[in-house]
Amino acid sequence: MILAVHAESNLRCQVSGTISCTDASPTGGGCATASAFKDRGLEVPPAMEEKGTCAMCSQELESEPGRVKYPCPRDCGAFGCSVRCAQSHFEFGPCVRMGVSVPRFGERFCGPNYPLTKAVALQGGAVQRPLDILVSDNSWDFFSEPGRKALEHLEEDPALRWRHWGPNCRTFSRARGRPINLKGKGKIKGPARVRSEAQPWGLDRVGKNDQVKVRQDNKMAKRSLRGLEEADR
């Protein structure tokens, strides 16, 4: 009976490197995947006692109300004074629970403040370092070769489970081409219209500066749509 399942199996098929398990019921469902065997000898070490300093830069973590500190995603007891310090501790150590795998969140085109990344990290979630601080540790340019490579590298992260795409949408605004009402000053001319329902990727005749903006916003929007399609597949 045990061997009967192999009667019509192709024994030459390559063994999959990923095992998946799914289940559904009238009240919900779930799934899980595994890409490696768990070390039977691996035990989760107990959490460390909370210290009053950052796990990476040793800066004092004041306990006053409103003070922000980021917990280690593995809940090892350590805290970081910033997203960068918390993630450096999580990725490179000295986290005492380095063997524990944690799914990650990635924010795309988030700008220099990366608000969703900070919000997830504050709740103890594992996040990818935002692209805006990943390239050159200063500013990130999606339209450069290093920027595109950095994005593809993050998208290939096997631990990536959630992501948020936020492409620049200023040139997509329906308010463009309409006058702007200023309190006490009447109406002023707003930014020129650069798109229409018939030509959503840009009008035929726009100024040179607007042409650059439209082209760049199109690239970000199309890359975001492609990311959603890949995630859906």
What number is the average pLDDT over the span 87-102?
84
What number is the average pLDDT over the span 103-115?
87
Angle CA(149)–CA(230)–CA(214) in degrees, nearest 5?
Answer: 65
Domain boundaries, the chain: 47-102, 103-166
pTM of the model: 0.68
pLDDT reported for residue 218: 94
- Write out the two tokens for 198: 């018939």
Backbone φ and ψ of 225, nearest 5°: -65, -40
Contact 140, 134 (CB under 8 A): yes
pLDDT band at 101 (very low <50, low <70, confident <90, very high): confident
pLDDT reported for residue 165: 92
